[in-house]
Structures are given as C-alpha cells and as structure tokens.
Amino acid sequence: MEVLNFKDCEDVKIEKFPFKGEQRDVVGTSIRWLSRSGDDGTGNPEYGLRYFTIQPGGEIPIHNHFYHQTMYFLSGECECYLYDNKTEKKLKTCVTGPGDFVYIPSIETHGMKNIGKGPVTFLCCIANVYENDD
C-alpha cells in the first residue's frame, strides 16, 4: 500500500499531443500521474489515474487513443468536444463542471477547452480493455 498526496506527484506541462501523425499544440495544460500499472506493450500503462489542470483559455486539441478513459471534474468549467475522425468536424459539444464525468471509449476522437475564469481540474482514469475473441 502506498499513501501520497497529489502534490507529491510531479506536475508536468504537456506541450504536444499526436493526432493522425501530426503533433498538435496543447495549451495551458499539465498532468500529474497519481498511479500507473502494467504495460500495454508500447511503454504506456494498462491502467492509470491522472490529475489534470487546464488553465483559463487552455485546451487539449483533437486526438484519440486506444485506451478507455473516464474524466471526473473537480473544479472549473470545460467544454468537451466529440469530433468526426475523418473530417475533424465537431459533432457534439458539452459543458462540464464540478461533479460531472465524461466517458470516452477507445478511439473516440475528442478534445476540450477551459472556458471559465479559473483552472479546470479533473481526475482521469485510463484503462486498456481487450475484447475476448472466444
């Protein structure tokens, strides 16, 4: 058993995030890895719990990934976007606040932006889930 405070975890600024082979700019966003477990074969964890901070006006651009994720919002106001993977057109926009959560299935194309006056903070749980071929 390990007991820590989130402040014990390094706060790392995210500069870029890949989408369709291109590195897209991430603005005003940092991440603290609270836990990690396993290896998906590419150096990424099978499971992870992360603490994100997005500063006012900050954003995470359009992207997707193989893992499933659930984001639980602790503070601030954030617009979350669902995109068409081929055209990159926004298909859906929702606004989140404290107590809201958003589930993103594997490969679903999404992004988000802080639209409030203060920081957005949220916990993000990621997990690779494999279908049984039986």
Q: Domain limits at 81? A: 17-48+59-67+76-97+109-116
Q: Is residue 23 part of a domain?
A: yes
**Inside any domain, residue 121:** no
Rounded Cα–Cα distance for residues 14 and 2 (Å): 26
pLDDT by 10-residue block (mean), the chain, 134 residues: 92 96 97 86 80 98 94 98 96 98 96 98 88 51
Per-residue pLDDT at 39:
75
Number of alpha helices (DSSP H) and beta strands (DSSP E) in the chain: 0, 11
Q: pTM higher than 0.85, yes or no?
A: yes
Question: Has residue 54 been placed in a domain?
Answer: no
* Alpha-carbon distance values, 19 to 54, 60, 117, 134 (Å): 19, 11, 28, 32
What pLDDT does residue 37 have?
85
* 118 C-beta neighbours (distance < 10 Å), count: 11
Question: In the prediction, which pLDDT does 23 show?
Answer: 96
Q: Of 94, 104, 13, give the one whose Cα is nearest residue 55.
A: 13
Is 125 inside any structural domain? no
CA distances from 45 to 6, 28, 51, 64, 66 (A): 19, 24, 15, 16, 12
Domain assignment present for residue 88? The answer is yes
* Residue 74 CA from chain centroid, whole number: 14
Q: How many domains does the chain have?
A: 1
| pLDDT attached to residue 93 | 97
Residue 115 carries which DSSP code? -
Is 129 inside any structural domain? no
Q: How much is the pLDDT for 47?
A: 87
27: in domain: yes
**Inside any domain, residue 7:** no
